[in-house]
């Protein structure tokens, strides 16, 4: 199962997600780090992603082959992450047939109404425990 983790800027959110995915699933999944820039990709590779690539073309091409896409909600918003998410990236992620799990952390002028603000660690625990565990274990 191919899991794409997409992040930008410093790659901090993606790195935390990858570390927790590795703890939970080890090598039973292939984690592909997709950074909007080389720094984000490098940080996610340090977190033990299996493979990584940077930039618009890499993201656009890879998300179409993914089984699961994980990242902050900004990955489906054109011009998010201080402009690092291009319209083509946002469209490719949204149009991908992969299951998408978006972390509701945003630096944009976007607020998801009805959502209680939650710190990143509990969000990642919920992502893995309630959403990915059953999906990935059933596939393995």
Query: What pLDDT is stored for residue 140 in this prediction?
Result: 60
Residue 119 confidence (pLDDT): 92
What ranges make up the beta strands (E) of the chain?
2-7, 30-35, 51-54, 68-72, 99-103
**HSE toward the beta carbon, residue 51, CA cutoff 13 A:** 11
Q: Where are the domains of the chain?
A: 2-139
Q: Write down the pLDDT at residue 111.
A: 86
- What is the pTM (predicted TM-score) of this model? 0.94
- pLDDT by residue for the chain (140 residues), tens only, comes to 999 999 998 999 999 999 999 999 999 999 999 999 999 999 999 999 999 999 999 999 999 999 999 999 999 999 999 999 999 999 999 999 999 999 998 777 888 899 888 999 999 999 999 999 988 887 76
**CA of residue 84 relative to chain centroid, distance:** 14
Give the CATH fold of the 2-139 domain.
Rossmann fold (3.40.50)
Q: Are 25 and 44 in contact (CB under 8 A)?
A: no
């Amino acid at each position: 199962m191919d899991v794409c983790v997409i992040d930008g800027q410093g790659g901090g959110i993606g790195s935390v997600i990858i570390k927790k995915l590795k703890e939970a699933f080890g090598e039973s999944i292939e984690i592909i780090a997709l950074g909007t820039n080389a720094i984000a990709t490098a940080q996610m590779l340090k977190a033990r992603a299996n493979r990584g690539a940077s930039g618009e073309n890499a993201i656009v091409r890879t998300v179409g082959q993914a089984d699961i896409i994980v990242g902050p909600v900004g990955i489906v918003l054109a011009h998010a992450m201080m402009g690092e998410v291009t319209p083509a990236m946002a469209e490719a992620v949204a149009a991908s047939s992969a299951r998408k799990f978006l972390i509701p952390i945003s630096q944009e002028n976007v607020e998801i109404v009805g959502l209680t603000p939650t710190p990143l660690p509990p969000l990642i625990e919920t992502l893995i425990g309630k959403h990915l565990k059953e999906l990935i274990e059933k596939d393995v």
